[in-house]
Structure 1
Amino acid sequence: MHSPINAANRLALRLLSLAYFVQAVGALSVVGSLEAISAAWALSIAQSALLITVFGIAFALAAPLLQMTLGHLRRRAQVLLGLSIFSVAALLFAAAPDYQTLLASRVLMGLGAGFIGPVLGALGSNLVTREQQGSAIAIVLLGLSVAGLAGMPISAWLAHEFGARSLFFGIGASGLLIAAMILAWVPNRVVGQRVAPIEVITLLTSATSLSAFLVVFFVTTGVFATYAFLAPIIGNDFHGSADDITLALTVLGVAGVLGNLLVTRLALRVSAERLLLIGIGLLALDLLGLAAMPRLFGGLLLALVIWALATDIVWPSQQRRIVELMPEQRGIALALTASFMFAGIGTGSAVAGWLYPIVGFIGLLLASLLFLLLAFVSLRFSEWHARMQVIEAELS
């Protein structure tokens, strides 16, 4: 029988989850507040959209590079350093006098985020026993789940009501507050590990690890190929009002929290591979149901509940699988996982922006299904290749 996570470690994991929430909201905030940013700084939509691109590039490059240069620092120190850089950069964004400063602040936010996200899972999983790691990762990723489901619309509402500067001031101030709480209540006993460049190259060229990274890339791309345009889908395809959009996002948020609690318990009994298959399968069935059902708002709300549950199964299970596949390289492996995840967010959002005006709601659903199929193929190939490696090791 597995012992429960004690109160002190559960508090630490919740604080790490809050750090993930702030980082993810800061990453997604520009997507939901493009018009407010454009108005505040007199920018074109294209200029505002570039703020998303530079963040993604900075994050994708920073995540592995920071583990190669500063990965030897204790995990908590890495989180605090990254969260401090990220938060100060958000405050710089709020006070930016010109476009050049906005770009620089987003690069710095990407740099800080590249230190936060990959390390949170590694730190959280090392605070507990091996049997509790799946539950610990699920707790940490609750922040990412809630931010992924509600971060963009909440950011859009705050930016519209109070202005883009206020939104980013809130992100920066929240990040610094959470950093102080982590300093006070998260143990500093987990050591880091400097990563050699050859390790990164090996992970990116190994069939087993690369296919494992591609699972999260394709799933994230598939999710955001539809989710990024959820608000216009509700308005245009389900003839919903602004209140309907708010209700839908509330349902997503509540279902996401409840789903995370469920997955925290399932992780004690079910393998990461099986949970990933269940999550991907649920998402695919949900998308097929959305494509086939009448355009009824009540049906959409039910589909969003299933959507939230499925994504809550996928995110922590993916990180848990990475930790189990590469336990000695978990730092750099989780850093690369985060890079692939945010690359998927950017790719899926770009696909949504390109396809929706051309092929509409059904086109987005089909694109999402295609990416989920690619995720399924990547997962099965990764499993097969990992088994072959075990067999070869036993025979040699």
Structure 2
Amino acid sequence: MHPVPPSTAMALRSLALAYFVQATGALSVVGTLAAIAAEWHLRDEQAALLITVFGVTFALAAPLLQMAFGHLPRRRQVLIGLALFSTAAIIFALAPGYYILLAARIAMGLGAALIGPVLGALAAGLVEDEQQGSAIAMVLLGLSMAGLAGIPLATWAAQAWGPRTLFLAIGAAGLLTVVLIRSTVPAQAGGEKVSPSTLGRVVFDPILLPAYFVVFFAAAAVYATYAFLVPIIRDVFHGGEQTASLAMAVLGVSGVVGNLFVVRLARRYSADTLLVAGMAILGFDLMLLLVVPPTLAQLFGVLMLWAFATDIVWPSQQRRIAELSAQLRGVALAVTASFVFAGIALGSALAGFLYVRWGFHANLFGSLVLLALSWACLALSARRTLLTTKGIL
């Protein structure tokens, strides 16, 4: 295999930076929930709705934007999406009130929906066939680094300098990345526009549809508790601002460890096996949170296991979808991303509803119910796959 030329390596790093900025801007609201609520005088559940509207927007827009603009050159799609995302982050920072905040998050969701589905394909088009896996992995490193460093730093920055400064910085970083991509990533031909009939066939495929709902309910299960992690740390575990930043850092480090772990195990075990294992660990962790004393030491131990489990679940689910959809893999993975963000939206909305009315333990019970639904969908999907293999379906 020939080494990647330095100019191509620089282009891939630029795309990884775009993923880092997008993921940090999208998910930093979780760690800065209390700071945002304080700055704009919002209730915690109002602040959590900012996660929900982003997720709903991404879920609905990602496939529709590919239908409308999938024929455009991929670099142009990324540049337009990142410029929109970054400008919306700056509007968020300058927002005078809640409705402008909501509008800015919707615009950020639209920008992210245009970026996310094409970054991997753009990276793959920059290298030879045998180097495509490494190129995509390099771009996805930006997503991993957002969990490891971006979100913990965002949490700390919002507490130190305020959420307005944080989102100004995210917007500025995004616009600088636009310039960097424009100068380092060569233009490519446009992709194929996804027709409504193709999208419908991929969404409602009898094997793929329950597989999508596996990740939908899994994402909802995670965010029904995770979206309110900072208020939970404040109210239940009596931690301060530094504790929240440290919690995000623990989640990031443990998540990267889980990702490395699943990369090695994927050579020996099937996606179904790893998915079951990750969901079982997550269920055990949720039950552990129900019974352990509310001390910070116990919390950090549980969070380590939490991040480890979720970073087994996500790549295993992606692998499972890829294996089930050989013919239309790209469209199926884009639809999967929509179901993920729809799950995030549902879980985040439930998090505020449950916590405000019944407290921390209601969040955990809600997460367990959603995780059970994910298990049921996995069983249905596995059964349909088996029946198809035998020629019954």
TM-score tier after normalising by the smaller chain length: 0.7 to 0.9
User: What is the distance in 2 between the residues matched to 1:343 and 1:312?
Assistant: 18
User: What is the distance in 1 between the residues matched to 2:284 and 2:44?
Assistant: 35
Report the counterpart of residue 22 of structure 2 in structure 1.
23
Classify 1:359/1:105 alpha carbon distance in 2 versus 1 (closer, same or farther; 3 Å): closer
- Is the 1:142–1:260 contact (alpha carbons within 8 Å) kept by the matching residues of 2? no
Report the counterpart of residue 372 of structure 1 in structure 2.
371
- Is the 2:92–2:101 contact (alpha carbons within 8 Å) kept by the matching residues of 1? yes
Counterpart residue type for residue 79 of structure 2: L
Determine if the alignment matches structure 1 residue 321 to structure 2 residue 320: yes
User: What is the distance in 1 between the residues matched to 2:196 and 2:146?
Assistant: 32
Cα drift, residue 59 of structure 1 = 2.1
Classify 1:334/1:99 alpha carbon distance in 2 versus 1 (closer, same or farther; 3 Å): same
Report the counterpart of residue 334 of structure 2 in structure 1.
335
Moved more, 268-277 or 91-100: 91-100
- Is the 1:69–1:194 contact (alpha carbons within 8 Å) kept by the matching residues of 2? yes
Moved more, 216-225 or 136-145: 136-145
Report the counterpart of residue 346 of structure 2 in structure 1.
347
TM-score under structure 1 normalisation? Answer: 0.82
Cα-Cα RMSD: 3.6
Counterpart residue type for residue 341 of structure 1: V
Cα drift, residue 143 of structure 1 = 4.1
Report the counterpart of residue 203 of structure 1 in structure 2.
202
Cα distance per residue 1:165-202 (max 9 Å; x no partner): 32222111212233344445556668622111012222
After TM superposition, the structure 1 = structure 2 runs for residues 1-12 of structure 1, keeping only pairs within 5 Å, are none
Cα drift, residue 381 of structure 1 = 1.7
Report the counterpart of residue 215 of structure 2 in structure 1.
216
Moved more, 331-340 or 131-140: 131-140
Q: How many residues align?
A: 392
Moved more, 60-69 or 230-239: 230-239
- Is the 1:121–1:137 contact (alpha carbons within 8 Å) kept by the matching residues of 2? yes
Determine if the alignment matches structure 1 residue 291 to structure 2 residue 294: no
User: What is the distance in 2 between the residues matched to 1:308 and 1:203?
Assistant: 30
Determine if the alignment matches structure 1 residue 169 to structure 2 residue 181: no
Moved more, 251-260 or 13-22: 13-22
Report the counterpart of residue 118 of structure 1 in structure 2.
117
Report the counterpart of residue 362 of structure 2 in structure 1.
363
- Equivalent residue of 1:327, what SS? coil
- Equivalent residue of 2:327, what SS? helix
User: What is the distance in 2 between the residues matched to 1:260 and 1:202?
Assistant: 31
State the percentage of identical aligned residues: 54
- Equivalent residue of 1:192, what SS? coil
Moved more, 282-291 or 122-131: 122-131
Report the counterpart of residue 248 of structure 1 in structure 2.
247
Determine if the alignment matches structure 1 residue 62 to structure 2 residue 72: no
Report the counterpart of residue 178 of structure 1 in structure 2.
177
Cα drift, residue 114 of structure 1 = 0.8
- Equivalent residue of 1:328, what SS? coil
Report the counterpart of residue 85 of structure 1 in structure 2.
84
Report the counterpart of residue 382 of structure 1 in structure 2.
381
Moved more, 153-162 or 182-191: 182-191
Cα drift, residue 314 of structure 1 = 1.7
Counterpart residue type for residue 229 of structure 1: F
Counterpart residue type for residue 345 of structure 2: G
User: What is the distance in 1 between the residues matched to 2:234 and 2:319?
Assistant: 37
- Is the 1:119–1:331 contact (alpha carbons within 8 Å) kept by the matching residues of 2? no
Report the counterpart of residue 258 of structure 2 in structure 1.
259
Classify 1:126/1:265 alpha carbon distance in 2 versus 1 (closer, same or farther; 3 Å): farther
- Is the 1:193–1:331 contact (alpha carbons within 8 Å) kept by the matching residues of 2? no
Counterpart residue type for residue 64 of structure 1: P
Cα drift, residue 268 of structure 1 = 4.0
Counterpart residue type for residue 110 of structure 1: G
User: What is the distance in 1 between the residues matched to 2:140 and 2:264?
Assistant: 14
- Equivalent residue of 2:328, what SS? helix
- Is the 1:67–1:331 contact (alpha carbons within 8 Å) kept by the matching residues of 2? no
Classify 1:41/1:298 alpha carbon distance in 2 versus 1 (closer, same or farther; 3 Å): closer
- Is the 2:92–2:167 contact (alpha carbons within 8 Å) kept by the matching residues of 1? yes
- Equivalent residue of 1:287, what SS? helix
User: What is the distance in 1 between the residues matched to 2:71 and 2:119?
Assistant: 15
Counterpart residue type for residue 357 of structure 1: V
User: What is the distance in 1 between the residues matched to 2:124 and 2:287?
Assistant: 35
Moved more, 185-194 or 307-316: 185-194
Moved more, 273-282 or 327-336: 327-336
- Is the 1:141–1:316 contact (alpha carbons within 8 Å) kept by the matching residues of 2? no
TM-score under structure 2 normalisation? Answer: 0.83
